[in-house]
Amino acid sequence: MASPPASVRPFVVKLGGSVITRKQQAERVRPKILRRLADEVGAVPGTPLVLLHGAGSFGHPGAHQFGLSRTPDPGASRMSRGRGASIVSGEVRRLHLAVLRELIRAGVSPWSVPIANHARNRGGRLASIDPEPFRAALTAGLVPVSFGDVVPDDQWGWSILSADTIAVSLAGALPARRVIFVSDVPGVLPPRTQGRPLVIAEVTDSVLEGLRPAGEGRDVTGGIRGKVEAMLAIANAGVDAGLISGLKDGELSRALRGESVYGSWAHARPREASGRGGD
């Protein structure tokens, strides 16, 4: 694969843990879906691309169990939190290896970028991230692949950095041409939908205001509300962001060709036109 020109802006694709794993079953990949999505990436050769993936059933249960997404309990030792971080880190890497294997089989040339080596949190929020490993892989004609993970935290010792947050940061830093979130739903669903679900086509601030706050469930990365917040932050950085289904054949490859794809989209807007800040 030839190296992309410096002027080419890559796509950033995030494969949600909900679509590539069975979130109700510990450490279970959805092999047919993961294989098809890898094939769809391989079907668009030469497209500059950064691929991210969620942790799904490989990371969320452990992160919830060890409290890695919240302030450490007063009585908890730093060593016990570190032990939890070590366990979850190993779990998500098993999923990462499965993703890399499928991409290689599909003819893609992935390059692993473990984000824990290139980012730090502070109080559970991203403090810094180095985009250079992603740029270097793109320049070499490779597809940098990273994932939601446990990263060092200046205040908490260790905490969760979601792939959604990585996508927000890279969208502006690279910058990206388009960010595509691939999920097990066809988009942001309106409340109390009857019959066949119809998605909210355009994601705006008012859509976010109408969503319930993230709960305390096993999804430690904010659920659909966190996704919408990420999409709006990306739009505020001047990049289109979409949420599409990974369960429908061909949607991802079409989106990577720049085609219009059914789903929910937050359209790029000038920074001065928005009162919202980035991530």
Strand 240-245 versus strand 178-183 pairing type: parallel
Domain range summary for the chain, segments of one domain joined by +: 11-273
User: Which residues, other chains included, contact 96 with Cβ-Cβ below 8 Å and sequence gap of 6+?
Assistant: 53, 112, 114, 145, 147
Strand 11-15 versus strand 49-53 pairing type: parallel
Instruction: Return per-residue pLDDT of the chain as tens, 279 residues.
Output: 444 555 579 999 999 999 999 977 778 999 999 999 999 999 999 999 999 999 998 988 889 889 999 999 887 777 789 999 999 999 999 999 999 999 999 999 999 999 999 999 999 999 999 999 999 999 999 999 999 999 999 999 999 999 999 999 999 999 999 999 999 999 998 876 555 668 999 999 999 998 877 654 555 556 789 999 999 999 999 999 999 999 999 999 999 999 999 999 999 988 644 444 333
CA angle 40, 44, 46 (to 5 degrees): 140
Q: What is the pTM of this model?
A: 0.90
Task: Evaluate whether 103 touches 45 at the Cβ level (below 8 Å).
Answer: no
- CATH code given to domain 11-273: 3.40.1160.10
Specify the pLDDT at position 193. Answer: 57
Both tokens assigned to 190: 């309106």
Task: Evaluate whether 26 touches 95 at the Cβ level (below 8 Å).
Answer: no
Q: CB atoms < 10 A from the CB of 62, how many? A: 23
Q: CB atoms < 10 A from the CB of 263, how many? A: 24
